Structure 1
Amino acid sequence: MSIRHWPETERPREKLLARGCAALTDAELIAVLLGSGIPGTDAIALGRGLLQDNGGLASLLGAPAEAISRRGIGPAKRARLIAALELARRALGEQLRERPALSSPRDSGDYLRAQLRDRPYEVFACLYLDNRHRVLGFEELFRGTVDGASVHPREVVRACLKHNACAVIFAHNHPSGVAEPSAADRAITRELRDALQLVGVRVLDHLVIGAGTPVSMAERGLI
């Protein structure tokens, strides 16, 4: 039975307007974005399928645009989903920039995890901070393959000077999902720390993003 034939109190859009977002499941919220289903599959079932395909809402939030694909998800529905997911990421970034200062890895971990966790290739990124550890900007500096990305200290130094950063937090993802820092991760972090010391920029942390909680190299004593 099509959703339009359901009791009005059970339709996702009407339920959202009457009772608020908290009354809806993740699949129902996705159904509101999709707007409609396809013959034989209603919008809630499509939403449930997307969540199953991506391993849950957190993974869907971090999924690259090209990964949002399923029977019944045409260009219009796909565009609405991509726009909504990008708005969620930007909202996290806005919250991060509005913080008085970053004082722990958890302050930036949620944002960096949303940006990098489910990329199918490795990305090395940087949060630029002022002298009070307030966020100046975020940038993806290098992209690689499924098992690594080449990081060039000279380009990192140039980017920090361009943003007039006084401190930085690095982050990169492990597409394997295992967030344990490798020997290469530790070596490039030391190399970047030493290079940036020469221009007065402090490396506060380097977060490794995997399937679970990001691993802070600063908390591990590796910086």
Structure 2
Amino acid sequence: MGISHWPEGERPREKLIHLGPQALSDAELLAIFLRVGVKGRSAVDLARDLLSEFDGLRPLLEADRGTFCRAHGLGDAKYVQLQAALELSRRHLETLLMRGDALNSPAMVRRFLSAHLRDLGHEVFAALFLDSQHRVLRFEKLFTGTLDAAAVYPREVARRALALNAGAIIFAHNHPSGVAEPSDADRRITTRLVEALGLFDIRVLDHFVVGDGEVTSFAERGWL
């Protein structure tokens, strides 16, 4: 039976309108994105099949183009739509973050950094450059490394901060292993950055390590 023949309260679109997106299951949300099913399978049935095939929503959203497009019911058009939706979400977070004091939105900072760094297959060291009122000036990915390391140069960080007239910085980097526990090397480079930037009265407010579903804060551990 097609979704149009379902009771209105069970149809994903109507359910979202009346109850909000948080009330829908992963399969129902994915069904709205898919819009239509395939022969003999409704959009919700197809969504459930895909979630089972990819072993969950996140692996589906993170799949590369080749893997995504090989799945039954998907293709280049859906892949393009999905990438556009994900990028809109990242830009929306950035817009919200740019509106106010970053320190008054710690949860949003975490979501923003996770959205930009969590799914990368190599280590990236990034920074949120802030003005003296802790408003975001710019987010930049500064250094890129291999699977488990990125060379970070305090002199280059200081030069960029001065060019942006930053008064403070929040650092972040990802661990492709998925483990958000800071290493000894992470702590050493943070100390060097604090010392280098302190010469120019630029404060390091925090350093986040982004893992698989977890973001660890140096400041919360009392390391800054």
Q: TM exceeds 0.5?
A: yes
Let me know the Cα RMSD of the aligned residues: 2.8
- Structure-2 separation of matches of 1:115 and 1:101: 16
Alignment map for 1:115-194 (pairs within 5 Å): 115-194=116-195
Q: Secondary structure at the match of 2:181?
A: coil
The one-letter code of the counterpart of 1:163 is: L
Alignment map for 1:107-122 (pairs within 5 Å): 107-122=108-123
Corresponding residue of 1:197: 198
Corresponding residue of 1:27: 27
Corresponding residue of 2:85: 84
Q: Secondary structure at the match of 2:125?
A: strand
Kept in 2, the 8 Å contact 1:68–1:78? The answer is no
> How far did residue 186 of structure 1 move?
0.6
The one-letter code of the counterpart of 1:38 is: V
Residue deviations 1:134-185 (CA, integer Å, cap 9, x gap): 1112111122222112222222122212322110000111111111110110
> How far did residue 18 of structure 1 move?
5.6
- Structure-1 separation of matches of 2:108 and 2:41: 40
- Structure-1 separation of matches of 2:183 and 2:173: 12
> How far did residue 104 of structure 1 move?
6.8
Corresponding residue of 1:93: 94
- Greater shift after overlay, 80-89 or 12-21? 12-21
Distance 1:109 1:17, change over 3 A: closer
- Structure-2 separation of matches of 1:194 and 1:60: 42
Distance 1:93 1:154, change over 3 A: same
Kept in 2, the 8 Å contact 1:105–1:216? The answer is no
Distance 1:202 1:45, change over 3 A: farther
Corresponding residue of 2:222: 221
Residue deviations 1:5-62 (CA, integer Å, cap 9, x gap): 54555433344446543443232222222222334544334444555537445x767x
The one-letter code of the counterpart of 2:177 is: S
> How far did residue 69 of structure 1 move?
1.5
Stretches of structure 2 that go unaligned for 5 or more consecutive residues are none
TM-score by length of 2: 0.83
The one-letter code of the counterpart of 1:112 is: L
TM-score by length of 1: 0.83
Q: Secondary structure at the match of 1:206?
A: strand
Q: Report how many residues are paired.
A: 221
Distance 1:197 1:40, change over 3 A: farther
- Structure-2 separation of matches of 1:18 and 1:106: 27
Distance 1:46 1:204, change over 3 A: farther
- Structure-2 separation of matches of 1:140 and 1:205: 16
Q: Secondary structure at the match of 2:129?
A: strand
